Amino acid sequence: MSENSTNNESQSKEQLPSLPVFTGHVYIFSAFDIGEDIKFDSVKKSKDVQTEKVNVSKFLKNYHLPLEIELPHPHDSARCISSKIHPFGAISLIYKVPITSTLQDLRQTMIDLDAKYQQDSIQDAYSIFKKIKPFTVKPSFFQLKTYYTVIQIDTKKDLSGPQIKEMYGHEIASLLRFETQTLSDYQKDDIISSSIGYFKKDLVIIDTEAAFIYDPQYEELLDFFELGNIQQLELHYFDKLLDKQLTTLYDQKKPRLPILSYMPFIGSRYFDPIGDLNRIKVDISVITERLESSIKIIGEAYFSEVYDLIITQLDLQSWQRSINKKLNIIKDIRYVYQNKVDANREDLLSVLIIILIMIEVFFAMTKH
């Protein structure tokens, strides 16, 4: 009996279809905010920093471009295919890691790769930061960071995008959420619902932290993910900056104003809440405009849909609304402060006028 059962088990194992092995790459995008501004002219003149022009995608405009910068030697980041600095004080890195695995085994691999390259990116970004620190306004390593991962799978002749989605939906969903166990049908359906493709063979699934690409012409899509990750970084930075402003205003129940701020004509030098707010709004507007208008996909319906999906999944519009809401709150509070100061300045000016009139009357009466 034992021999028969063993034979049956071995036969059943032989009858199980072997899981297909896929090849491809994992692209890991990381971005770090390291200061308020980077002086590109000074960086280009420096002998200690090796920079190159960025190869511009046909979907990106030719202004406000970042600089490609060489990782300082020595380094162990052979998988780093791009390292850039951005004029608004950011460093972005891209890692390209080849993979050969079943989708089931890739789930654990993804967790290991994520942990490794998050750590590697911090070390590589810091090595760049040390080189450009003298040319950075208010340098700080690092204030914020963002990551995004793209899993690119090479296409097979016998499998189309819809077939991949149908056969391996659970595995893809687990990959995009960095889970080793199979997710529920509800979670799976929610994740793979944000899928798109141009030709029948294509499949692109975009989630909040990672994307799955089954498309022979995938290179054209990578720039959108890099840009989306950097946009998320800057929106997080501005949101955090406004949080600090609100915290200061809430903690400071009665604003402590310098005495000179009440003086007419010169007081705005010492206290100008509306001017300070306008400077913040200008900074936010300029940088967000640079990022949003740096892409040109008019007439490209498919790429426009992909970019819109990235914006939706990264929740960029919600971050923008949060920033606008906080700006309006700060504006209302600062207008109250401004009105109070203006009223005090008017009162002080009225007192000075009355004093001058009394002095003039006194001298007039003295002469008579």
Which residues, in sequence order, are CB contacts of 21 under 8 Å at separation 6+?
100, 101, 102
Taking only the tens place, the pLDDT of each residue in 272-281 is: 555 566 667 7
The residue with tokens 């600090």 is 244
Cα atoms in the 13 Å half-sphere on the side-chain side of 259:
0
Instruction: Provide the β-strand partners of residue 146.
Output: 31
Give the pLDDT confidence of 176-189 residue by residue, as tens digits: 999 999 999 999 99
Specify the pLDDT at position 331.
Answer: 77
Identity of the highest mean pLDDT range in 151-165, 242-256, 353-367: 151-165
Q: Tell me: the pLDDT tens digits for 112-141?
A: 999 999 999 999 999 999 999 999 999 999
Residue 17's pLDDT is what?
47
Residue identified by tokens 């063993």 is 6
Would you list the DSSP string of 41-52? HHHHH-SS--EE
Q: Check pLDDT > 70 for residue 2.
A: no
Rounded to the nearest integer, the mean pLDDT of the chain is: 81
Higher pLDDT, 16 or 187: 187
Residues 174/102, Cβ–Cβ less than 8 Å: no
pTM, rounded to two decimals: 0.79
- CA–CA distance from 15 to each of 103, 104, 105, 152 (Å)? 20, 19, 21, 30
- For 139-142, which contacts have Cβ atoms below 8 Å and span 24 or more sequence positions? 139/34, 139/35, 140/34, 140/35, 141/32, 141/34, 142/32, 142/33, 142/34
Structure tokens at 176: 């995009």
Average pLDDT of the residues in 53-75: 74
The mean pLDDT value for 276-292 works out to 66
Instruction: Return the number of other C-beta atoms located less than 10 Å from residue 48's C-beta.
Output: 10
Q: What is the structure's pLDDT at 16?
A: 37
Q: What is the pLDDT of residue 262?
A: 56
Mean pLDDT to the nearest integer, 157-174: 91
Q: Kindly state the tokens that stand for 97.
A: 């890691």
Kindly report, residue by residue over 190-216, the tens digit of the pLDDT.
Answer: 999 889 998 888 999 999 999 999 999
Compute the average pLDDT of residues 258-284: 59
Question: pLDDT tens, 292-315?
Answer: 655 666 667 888 888 889 989 999
Q: How far apart are CA 368 and CA 301, in angstroms?
A: 89
CA-based end-to-end distance of the chain = 137
pLDDT (0 to 100) of residue 125: 94
12 pLDDT band, cuts 50/70/90, is: very low
DSSP 183: P
Mention every residue, 6+ apart, whose C-beta is less than 8 A from residue 351.
Answer: none
Contact predicate 69/51, CB 8 Å? yes
pLDDT band at 257 (very low <50, low <70, confident <90, very high): low
Q: Which amino acid is at 50?
A: Q
- d(CA 50, CA 56) in angstroms, rounded, equals 19
- Which range has the worst mean pLDDT, 7-21, 149-163, 346-360? 7-21
Average pLDDT of 16-31?
A: 84
pLDDT of residue 87: 87
Directed axis angle between helix 273-292 and helix 219-251, to 10°? 170
Q: Contact 9/70 with Cβ under 8 angstroms?
A: no
- Residue 174's pLDDT is 94
Question: Highest mean pLDDT range out of 6-20, 67-81, 250-264, 317-331?
Answer: 317-331
Q: How far is CA 126 from CA 24, 95, 275, 364, in A?
A: 29, 16, 35, 74
* Residue ranges of domains in the chain: 20-222, 225-367
What per-residue confidence (pLDDT) applies to 266?
A: 53
> What are the pLDDT digits (tens) for 88-103?
899 999 999 999 999 9
